[in-house]
């Protein structure tokens, strides 16, 4: 009976393969089991209560209206005025050239006894030098080294030099160097650097501030602000194409213009600050983005009659004049992309 019971006990349990476990692994396993048994059960955190609000849902305005704007400019027509230092320096260089150059060979150019020779002797006696625009100066005299002008001298002024050149071209002796009677020839005089438009302050004229760059600014509506011509991009048109269209729609067909390049000079993000600026209530617009394209006018004049952008007035302004005309926020956005001259 004991053998039978031992036999049934042996074959009743499923046989398992014997696995050899080292002492270190057995010790680590028993330690992990004891730690899990003593650990407290994790409680589920309570769900957050739903926050109820009586405020209506206001959608965030994230979209912008993309616009192309043209900086149409007239470049300077003449060089700028010289500084007092530059005037003195250029006169000093011309007088220094007279000292270093070979003496003027009179008989190589004028035959002795001819009217040209007589006229030459009369003029050289007055100015002491072959040069006509450096004043009375003898480069080969004992005081030839003293070629710098004094403070307040008019020899370095461009106006005095022009008068000296005109006098030399107009005045001519009659019979000989002893004759004091002279006659004048009509000589075409250079145009003045300041025009009538500068005198009367005509900001619509392109014949003013010829030393500066002028930009076209327009007024939107009768009480609108002054700004550059601009419009919303239509369809898939590029900024270059939009700039050409804006020039025609704003200033008419009487301008010969050129849009420079396909890349804008800069951009300006104008966020609507007040409810009055939200013009289109059907769209959730946060503001407007302006991309400025560079343009040049070679000929013609702007004409706002029948324009399609609702413009009422225009001006051609320099950078310093534009600061007084544009809104402060708009001026701060474009002042660094405008030419200072």
pLDDT tens by residue, 196-254 = 998 998 999 999 999 999 999 999 877 788 999 999 998 889 999 999 999 999 988 88
Residue 337 has pLDDT above 80, yes or no: yes
Residue 295: which of 258, 247, 340 has the closest Cα? 258
Q: Work out the average pLDDT over 14-31.
A: 55
Give the strand pairing for 285-300 and 266-271.
antiparallel
Quote the pLDDT of residue 7.
Answer: 46
- CB-based contact 157:149 (threshold 8 Å): no
Highest mean pLDDT: which range of 112-121, 283-292, 297-306: 297-306
Which helix (H) or strand (E) element contains residue 29?
A: helix 23-38
Token pair in block for residue 80: 């700028």
Q: Rounded CA gap, 291 and 237, in Å? A: 13
The gap from C-alpha 314 to its chain's centroid, in whole angstroms, comes to 20
pLDDT digits (tens, 9 = 90+) for 61-100: 678 888 999 999 999 999 998 888 888 888 888 888 888 8
Full-model pTM: 0.69
Residue 44 has pLDDT above 90, yes or no: no
Q: Output the CA angle 318-216-277, nearest 5 degrees.
A: 110
Q: Rounded CA gap, 162 and 140, in Å? A: 25
Task: Name the least confident of 19-23, 135-139, 255-259.
Answer: 19-23
Q: Classify the phi-psi angles of 326: left when phi > 0, otherwise alpha if psi is within -120 to 50, otherwise beta.
A: beta
Q: Name which residue leads in pLDDT, 18 or 82.
A: 82
């Amino acid at each position: 009976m004991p053998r039978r019971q031992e036999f049934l006990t042996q074959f009743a349990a499923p046989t398992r393969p014997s696995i050899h476990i080292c002492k270190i692994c057995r010790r680590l396993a028993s330690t992990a089991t004891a730690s899990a048994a003593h650990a407290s059960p994790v409680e589920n955190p309570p769900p957050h209560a739903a926050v109820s609000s009586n405020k209506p849902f206001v959608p965030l305005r994230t979209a912008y209206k993309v616009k192309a704007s043209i900086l149409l400019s007239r470049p300077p027509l003449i060089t700028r005025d010289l500084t007092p230092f530059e005037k003195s320096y250029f006169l000093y260089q011309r007088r220094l050239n007279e000292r270093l150059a070979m003496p003027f060979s009179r008989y190589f150019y004028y035959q002795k006894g001819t009217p040209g020779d007589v006229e030459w002797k009369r003029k050289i006696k007055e100015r002491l030098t072959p040069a006509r625009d450096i004043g009375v100066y003898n480069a080969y005299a004992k005081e030839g080294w003293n070629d710098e002008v004094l403070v307040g001298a008019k020899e370095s002024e461009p106006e005095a030099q022009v008068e000296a050149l005109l006098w030399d071209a107009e005045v001519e002796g009659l019979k000989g160097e002893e004759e004091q009677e002279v006659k004048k020839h009509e000589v075409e005089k250079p145009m003045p650097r300041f025009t009538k438009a500068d005198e009367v302050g005509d900001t619509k004229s392109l014949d003013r501030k010829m030393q500066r760059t002028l930009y076209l600014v327009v007024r939107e509506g009768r009480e609108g602000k002054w700004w550059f011509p601009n419009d919303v991009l239509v369809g898939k048109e590029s900024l270059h194409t939009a700039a050409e269209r804006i020039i025609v729609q704003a200033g008419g067909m009487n301008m010969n213009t050129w849009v420079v390049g396909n890349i804008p000079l800069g951009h300006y993000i104008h966020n609507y600050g007040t409810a009055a600026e939200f013009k289109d209530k059907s769209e959730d617009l946060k503001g407007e983005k302006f991309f400025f394209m560079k343009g040049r006018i070679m000929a013609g004049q702007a004409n706002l009659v029948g324009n399609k952008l609702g413009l009422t007035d225009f001006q051609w302004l320099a950078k310093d004049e534009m600061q007084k005309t544009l809104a402060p926020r708009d001026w701060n956005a474009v002042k660094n992309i405008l030419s200072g001259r």
